[in-house]
Amino acid sequence: MKIVIIGQGYVGLTISAFAGAFFDVVGFDNNQRIVDQLNSGISHIEGVDSSSISSLISQGRYRATSVGTDLADADIVVIAVPTPLTIDRKPDLTFIDAACRTIGENIAKPILVINESTSFPGTLRNYIKPAIEKYSSSPIAHAYAISPERVDPGRGDFNQKNTPRLFAGLTPEASTKTREFYSRFCDNLVEVSSPEVAEAAKLFENTFRQVNIALVNEFAQIAHSLGISVYETLDAANTKPYGFMKFTPSAGVGGHCIPVDPTYLAAVAEEHGAPATFIRRANEVNLEMSEYIVRRVCTDNDGNLQGKSVLVVGVAYKPNVADVRETAAELVIEHLRRKGAVVSWHDDVVGNWKGESSAPLQGADIAVVVTKHDGVDEKKILASAPYVFDTTGKVKGAKGL
């Protein structure tokens, strides 16, 4: 069987590496630089070792391409392309549409199409299937299924094999084929009654995190105003053995999922006349966190950041990855600069970002820790400035939430 995976980013390349052990995999990506890099055996994704890509290439089990006609003899095509928000924060399905075009224009026999990209309920049935049909030169009865991706890049304990995977086909035949495919490299497959349930479950999982993070971020502000430790209070609450799940405060949410997916759910809810008040407000609270943090830093520094050198420590959206998509550090830096601070940042995992390079971890008036990678020494952070504000709860001895 030949599997084509459209999109060779965090999701697509991770699947390629697992599926490559059992199938011939072609990774299709429209970014030629990524394709060339992958074909020379270099992975650009944390959690996918270059050695595993080189090994698959040398066994003839994997190659990357940006040529649409390479899809022609595929048996299964998996869609793993971005699903961001438009400038006015609405679901943006243009990447999905382009993937459907690639499939429609290049595949002339019935195959199984699986969508792994996150989107709102109804995307497979009402958007992907009609789009592929629109781009096909003649009617082809493809099988369609959804299996939302749950990968957490950089995570060691859960991976494609041991993370339960939801799936549903548009037809029983599509469900059966989808189970056969994933069961080769995933231990626990959970079939649900419709693609819409699988699509909604994925959005709800991430909305659950977004709302709880917003709640704990709001609570951090309440705890500070009461003069008590948010961390001690959360640890105390966490001694309850049931009915409580601990989330920790932060500078906000980042990455491609938590800041984006709940807005997909809110958009479809509002389209159907259902409320999405929690989701909308949670988003606002998380976005406002950066401003709150800068206010706290400013207050602690005589209410004036004008001309002060501020080092933001950690600009990746979470520890131990180089991913800066939707990172809260961006808003923290923006608010600091608005107050006249001279801002640089230190993050050797990210290295270069927005035309700037990681600055040395030293010599600032103020340091604000947004993300603490495991490899960054706590003592060095504390020594980098006379005043250190930590948003992570990991730098003991610093000021913080």
- C-alpha 153/C-alpha 320 separation (Å) is 9
- C-alpha 106/C-alpha 136 separation (Å) is 8
257 included as an active-site residue = yes
Q: How many CA atoms lie within 13 A of 107 on its CB side?
A: 27
Compute the least distance from the CB of residue 17 to ligand NAD, in Å: 13
Compute the least distance from the CB of residue 70 to ligand NAD, in Å: 12
Binding-residue pattern over the window 32 to 71 for ligand NAD, x denoting contact by CB under 6 A: --x-------------------------------------
Q: Are 397 and 369 in contact (CB under 8 A)?
A: no
Strand partners, 353: 356
Write down the H helix ranges in 1-93: 10-19, 32-39, 50-58
- The residue among 116 and 326 lying less far from ligand NAD, judged by its C-beta, is 116
> Is 221 near ligand NAD (CB under 6 A)?
no
- The residue among 285 and 322 lying less far from ligand NAD, judged by its C-beta, is 322
Q: Which stretch binds ligand NAD (CB under 6 A): 9-17, 209-217, 294-302, 333-341?
A: 9-17
- The residue among 99 and 385 lying less far from ligand NAD, judged by its C-beta, is 99
Buried-exposed string 82-120: b where 16+ CB fall within 10 A, e elsewhere: bbebeeeeebbbebbeebbbbbbebbeeebbbbbbbbbb
Compute the least distance from the CB of residue 184 to ligand NAD, in Å: 20
Compute the least distance from the CB of residue 246 to ligand NAD, in Å: 22
Write the DSSP assignment of 311-335 as a string of letters.
EEE--SSSTT----TT-HHHHHHHH
> Is 265 near ligand NAD (CB under 6 A)?
no
- C-alpha 249/C-alpha 205 separation (Å) is 19
> Is 249 near ligand NAD (CB under 6 A)?
no
- The residue among 78 and 336 lying less far from ligand NAD, judged by its C-beta, is 78
> Is 256 near ligand NAD (CB under 6 A)?
yes
Q: Comparing C-alpha atoms, which of 365, 366, 386, 388 is closest to residue 378?
A: 388
β-pairing, 366-369 vs 309-313, is parallel
Write the DSSP assignment of 290-303 as a string of letters.
HHHHHHHHHHHTTT
> Is 103 near ligand NAD (CB under 6 A)?
no
> Is 31 near ligand NAD (CB under 6 A)?
yes
Binding-residue pattern over the window 303 to 342 for ligand NAD, x denoting contact by CB under 6 A: ----------------------------------------
Near ligand NAD by CB under 6 A: residue from 5, 6, 53, 131: 6
Rounded to 5 degrees, φ, ψ at 123 are -65, -45
Three-class SS state of 376: coil
Near ligand NAD by CB under 6 A: residue from 65, 118, 283, 327: 118
The residues that touch ligand NAD, with contacts defined as CB under 6 A, are: 6-12, 28-31, 34, 80-83, 95, 98-99, 102, 116-118, 149-151, 153, 256-257
Q: Which residues are tagged catalytic? A: 257
